[in-house]
Amino acid sequence: MKAFAQSTAASHRVLPGFRLSLSYTLIYLTVLLAIPLAACLAKVSSLTPSQFLAAAWTDRARAGYLLTFGVSFAAAAINVPLGLLLAWILVRYEFPFKRVLDSLIDLPFALPTAVAGLVYANLYVQNGWFGRFLVPLGIHGAYSRFAIVLVLTFIGLPFIVRTVQPVLETIDAEVEEAAASLGATRLQTFLRILLPSLVPALTTGFALTFARSLGEYGSVVFVSGNIMFKTEIAPVLIVNQLEEYHYAEATAIALVLLAGSFATLAVINSLERWSRRHGG
């Protein structure tokens, strides 16, 4: 690490292209990121506080935020144990087609969300492949809140697995050996030794899934049915307002959603800094 820091310090102002690359980066970020965000703030500041509340804090909007945060939380919570299990079997066990399974984990990331939504809606409706067994049991995996959680679980799965997997790979065998030789059972070793060292990765994975789910739109519109007060997520509310050309109202809702996402991002960053300090 020290050598690396030195070589970077040495190259400081030695290599060419500092001005060009940095100014290009900054201009690009200004045009694509800063100006659009500023436009958002400017639009909202054209509203009076009471107008803002009337747009962004209606019963319908509150139901939307609650649903968005609730389903995102549920999907992330399902993904934590599931992702841990998958990372565990991929790192620790050998079984046929393991590499295929490993590659398939990334599919939700590569598959367009609209396709995910389309096929999930199709699988869980009454005459779908899963729906024909589940709907008679009263389980509605399409056009319900459960449907949203399902599709968000699909979308979030790679985040947790890919965050936990590398950490699990680097855990030192000697620690487990020591625990076992001191008389700990497998379960004790897992709960007391392994799990605590995985907690930072699991938390980061949780936050990443959660953050991704908060803004998800493409897959959810297909499976949710968009029933007012019931399955209408916040991004759908924004689109609805936009389609009626209520730009300021749409932006007000967007700002609440943005605040939620940025808070999550801030938590992720501080978690990473914390785990780097305590874990590394």
Partner 1 sequence: MGAERPPVAPAGPQRRFRQDPLLLRVPLILVGVAAVALLIVVPVANVFYQALSHGVGTYWRNLVDDPDTRHAILLTLIVAPVSVALNVGFGIAAAWAVTRFQFRGRTFLVTLIDLPFAISPVVAGLMFVLLFGLQGYFGPWLRDHGIHIIFALPGLILATTFVTLPFVARELIPVMEAIGADEETAALSLGAGGWQIFWRVTLPNIKWGLLYGVILCNARAMGEFGAVYVVSGHIAGQTDTMPLRVQKLFDEYNNPGSFAVASILTSLALLTLLAKVSLERKTRREIAAAGAFVGPERPRNADSRETP
Of 195-254, binders to partner 1 (CB under 8 A) are: 208, 211-212, 214-218, 221-222, 234-235, 238-239, 242, 245, 247, 250-251, 254
Backbone angles phi, psi at 232, to 5 degrees: -100, 105
Among 33, 66, 139, 227, binds partner 1 (CB under 8 A): 33
Stretch that binds partner 1, among 50-58, 59-67, 69-77, 172-180 (CB under 8 A): 172-180
135 touches partner 1 (CB under 8 A): no
Stretch that binds partner 1, among 53-61, 69-77, 80-88, 223-231 (CB under 8 A): 80-88
Phi-psi region of 261 (alpha: psi -120 to 50; beta: other; left: phi over 0): alpha
DSSP states of 57-91: SSHHHHHHHHHHHHHHHHHHHHHHHHHHHHHHHHH
Stretch that binds partner 1, among 2-10, 54-62, 69-77, 131-139 (CB under 8 A): 2-10
Q: Which is nearer to partner 1, 53 or 114 (CB)?
A: 114
232: tokens are 């209408």
18 touches partner 1 (CB under 8 A): yes
Q: Report the distance separating Cα 156 and Cα 249, nearest Å.
A: 29
Q: How many residues bind partner 1 (CB under 8 A)?
A: 106
277 touches partner 1 (CB under 8 A): no
Contact assessment for residue 148 and residue 182, using Cβ atoms and an 8 Å cutoff: no
Stretch that binds partner 1, among 47-55, 132-140, 223-231, 256-264 (CB under 8 A): 256-264
CB of 127 to partner 1, least distance (A): 11
Stretch that binds partner 1, among 50-58, 132-140, 179-187, 224-232 (CB under 8 A): 179-187
Backbone angles phi, psi at 50, to 5 degrees: -70, -35
28 touches partner 1 (CB under 8 A): yes
CB of 17 to partner 1, least distance (A): 5
Burial class (CB in 10 A: 0-12, 13-18, 19+), 71: buried
Distance of CA 27 to the CA centre of its chain: 28
CB of 194 to partner 1, least distance (A): 10
Q: Which is nearer to partner 1, 63 or 161 (CB)?
A: 161
Length of the chain: 280
Among 39, 53, 199, 227, binds partner 1 (CB under 8 A): 39
Neighbours of 106 (CB within 10 A): 13
Q: Report the distance separating Cα 224 and Cα 212, nearest Å.
A: 17
66 touches partner 1 (CB under 8 A): no
Q: Report the distance separating Cα 62 and Cα 229, nearest Å.
A: 9
Among 47, 105, 142, 148, binds partner 1 (CB under 8 A): 105
Residue of 207, 273, 255, 229 whose CA lies nearest to 75: 207
Q: Report the distance separating Cα 78 and Cα 215, nearest Å.
A: 18
